[in-house]
A and B are shown apart, each in its own frame.
Chain A
């Protein structure tokens, strides 16, 4: 259905009077779970496309702390406050924002239960719960281990914890960065973190070392990171891939030790990027499979396991799209269009999505990777001939230009998710 403007504004005005929260009526109810980059963007887009529907966002936290740019916080180049976003704009747009945790979803009854005890029903559910950690997967790395060995892979107190440990460390100390096997949130993230930790050390504790213990044999933008590390930090960063005995098998937080197959490393600061899977609620809802992630139809983002539930962002299986904020935002917009079409009795439409991830290699320079993706047999596939990374050995001006682009990107994407 194509709205003329007058009609659309009229419907928008009608919606204000028609929505009565929690009372099931003829009003279509769309619930979005998770108010991060995926969920907040999805709720706002749905609000615009479906002015008559009730759009409800359930998010545990009153403030969202963004992971992108949180590595700059660790390096002392930004404050954690600059990472914080609220939900006021969403409320003003007539999205009902509920701050509570969803503890269960019944896909047959199309209901969900909040920790506060309330039951909500939905016509369609959009899940964007991000990630949770697999506490059973790395021996020794328990929920209490994170004080001694922070992950800082969800922004917040953990980001502060890692930053203050680096500040407390003696010059000449060893920082270990353990990286889990792919897939994980933000493929270039660990290497951006290594870069920014090194930039902090170079300035403040130049005799220190950073050892990356990697469960992977290659990584995102590897050539560009390696070249930048050499140029900016000399031999400060050492990378040990999986085949070079880099895989961490066990950690001992009390002793600050990380064990590989043949080695035990004692570190002054140990940052562990732990094994991950889709956010817990995806498992409770039955939309996650044995991989720990959620299989979806790449056109509509509807779960392959439970109908009327759409999964976007980090929790979804959308490879070759990376688990990034950029992807979550792009998927949210496209998913919202498809949900709006379905609500309006229209068939889904074929899609093309794209992603660009910027990574800082120092506080002032960045590199990037891009891809374009279309649907092929219900999955995503790379559009051949497109995508790629920043040029190698480029002049510093180009790297600082990409850092400026990264800042504009952050403004754009947080504005789109959380409003001005």
Chain B
């Protein structure tokens, strides 16, 4: 499939949701790459995020800039801020701490 070879076309695939492993460098330098299951539960949980968060987003942050630890901390802050009213507060409350960790790790491991 030529999309996996041409860099420009590959970038387009990476914008699509779960294009995970194919977005990584050919050497597969990332530790988590082999463990990431693009059809797994983590992929299901994290799939919703890319409906809003894109590279270059300003009002909605670009998640690829964050480490998984930072993502997890941010999501937990949203979840636990009792008086928070943003869309992220309202949504983060729907996920358990374990789910938040899973999502954060998946996003870091699959970032373009």
Give the interface of A toward B (CB within 8 A). 1-6, 8-9, 12-13, 15-16, 41, 44-45, 47-49, 51, 89, 92-94, 326, 329-330, 333-334, 336-337, 340-341, 344, 346, 349-354, 356, 368, 370-372, 383, 385-391, 394, 401-402, 404-405, 407-409, 411-413, 415-416, 419-420
Find out whether the CB atom of A385 lies under 8 angstroms from the CB atom of B93: yes
Q: Is B70's CB within 8 Å of the partner chain A?
A: no
Find out whether the CB atom of B33 lies under 8 angstroms from the CB atom of A408: no
Give the interface of B toward A (CB within 8 A). 1-5, 9, 11-13, 15-22, 24, 26, 28, 33-41, 43-45, 47-48, 50-54, 57-60, 85, 87, 90-95, 99
Contact residue among A13, A354, A415 (Cβ-Cβ distance under 8 Å from B48): A354
CA gap between A368 and B59 in the complex, in Å:
14
Find out whether the CB atom of A408 lies under 8 angstroms from the CB atom of B39: no
- Which partner residue on chain B sits nearest A356 by CB separation? B87
Find out whether the CB atom of B15 lies under 8 angstroms from the CB atom of A48: no
Q: A349-B44, A412-B53, A416-B50 are in contact. Are A405 and B9 (CB under 8 A)?
A: no
A-B contact pairs, 10 of them (CB 8 A): A2-B34, A4-B21, A12-B3, A93-B3, A333-B17, A337-B47, A352-B44, A408-B59, A412-B53, A415-B15
Find out whether the CB atom of A390 lies under 8 angstroms from the CB atom of B85: yes
- Which partner residue on chain B sits nearest A88 by CB separation? B12
CA gap between A256 and B21 in the complex, in Å:
58
Contact residue among B3, B21, B33, B35 (Cβ-Cβ distance under 8 Å from A94): B3
Nearest-neighbour CB distance to chain B for A43, whole angstroms, equals 10
Contact residue among B28, B36, B39, B85 (Cβ-Cβ distance under 8 Å from A6): B28
Contact residue among A4, A9, A13 (Cβ-Cβ distance under 8 Å from B34): A4
Find out whether the CB atom of A412 lies under 8 angstroms from the CB atom of B54: yes
Query: For B44, what are the chain A residues with a Cβ–Cβ distance below 8 Å?
Result: 334, 337, 349-352
Closest 8 CB pairs of A and B: A372-B94, A386-B94, A404-B59, A333-B47, A383-B94, A370-B90, A408-B60, A386-B93
CA gap between A301 and B22 in the complex, in Å:
27
Q: A337-B43, A405-B87 are in contact. Are A2 and B37 (CB under 8 A)?
A: yes
CA gap between A402 and B19 in the complex, in Å:
28
Find out whether the CB atom of A353 lies under 8 angstroms from the CB atom of B38: no
Nearest-neighbour CB distance to chain A for B44, whole angstroms, equals 5
- Which partner residue on chain B sits nearest A373 by CB separation? B94
15 additional A-B pairs beyond A333-B18, A333-B48, beta carbons within 8 Å, are A2-B34, A5-B22, A9-B22, A12-B4, A13-B1, A44-B16, A337-B43, A371-B94, A383-B94, A388-B85, A405-B52, A408-B60, A409-B52, A412-B54, A420-B12
